[in-house]
Structure 1
């Protein structure tokens, strides 16, 4: 339904919420999004999906901290028999939580350090260009020195005779 670049966001949302998000975009009262645009990449769609994910995860966190258990946010406590009898399921839950955590970390780093890295890259490119200009200037000066040396050698040889 959405562009494949948004898979890391969509995978963290329930299917019903993904469908509802698509419907909301298609039938937005002020500015509906055409169906073709939903299949493509768009900053508007990506930001709306991120916004939806943020709201969804906030609601999960509220439920988690209020004592209401949900399927993917509640961890069984150590006294639970499930830990002893279903290690594969526990491993998959841990892996899912790690995937979500790593994606959160990537998103956070991209938001936090994105502009910083962009500025560093820009400064680096400017320094590379300045170095190229300096090298070109040095080559020109070397050529001028060689020409001057030749001129001096020529003048010296002419003055001896």
Structure 2
């Protein structure tokens, strides 16, 4: 897909995903992604998440409600996982680790979740504002849970 809307990768390093030629988001979709600065991302992470690194979270930090293996080669079939868990949520915070985050329209994440999560990336978290709900992944296994703190 050819996209003209690009993000400044020097300000927002994770935006390369959305500047990539294989990004499935339209220019209109990209208008619904608001990147936070590194400092803003860290402050938000520290406010809402009780661990510094996703893969180092304690078992007591989150109660897993559900998990499901998703297929990155069939994003349309797998988007049902996100639709059912994010129903009624208009916007969410997406973290790529502690230093990179964005406020994103939920419909954009659902439409193209494969542009946000990568199978080899184990630092991505969806945080649902005004709740303690999170979605994170390990390879192709996705977890839906609730923070306990």
Structure with greater strand percent: 2
Higher helix share: 1
Q: TM-score range by the shorter chain?
A: under 0.3
Instruction: Give the TM-score normalised by the residue count of structure 1.
Output: 0.19
Higher RCO structure (Cα 8 Å, ≥6 apart) = 2
